[in-house]
């Protein structure tokens, strides 16, 4: 199933920002600094298990559930 990475990124951003666009941008920046650019992934992007594992670890650090 493709697009899982995009949905994981969206879930992290949505849960951390709680609708605040400034916080959403800050979370996007944190993801980029940790090596994952949200702009690189779309719903049609293939799922890479290594990236998904990294996102899961980041979600735990941010205190959100996926």
pLDDT, tens digit, 9 for 90 and up, residues 8-59: 999 999 999 999 999 999 999 999 999 999 999 999 989 999 999 999 999 9
Range of the domain at 18: 4-62
| 3 or 61, higher pLDDT | 61
Q: What count of other Cβ atoms lies within 10 Å of the Cβ of residue 12?
A: 25
pTM score, two decimals?
Answer: 0.87
Quick one: pLDDT at residue 33?
Answer: 95
Domain count, the chain: 1
Q: Give the span between the Cα atoms of 20 and 4, in whole angstroms.
A: 23
Q: Give the span between the Cα atoms of 65 and 11, in whole angstroms.
A: 8
């Amino acid at each position: 199933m493709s697009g899982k990475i995009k949905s994981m990124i969206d879930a992290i951003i949505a849960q951390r920002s709680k609708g605040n666009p400034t916080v959403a941008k800050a979370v996007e920046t944190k993801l980029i600094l940790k090596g994952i650019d949200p702009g690189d992934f779309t719903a049609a992007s293939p799922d890479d298990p290594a990236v998904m594992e990294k996102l899961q670890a980041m979600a735990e650090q941010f205190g959100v559930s996926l």
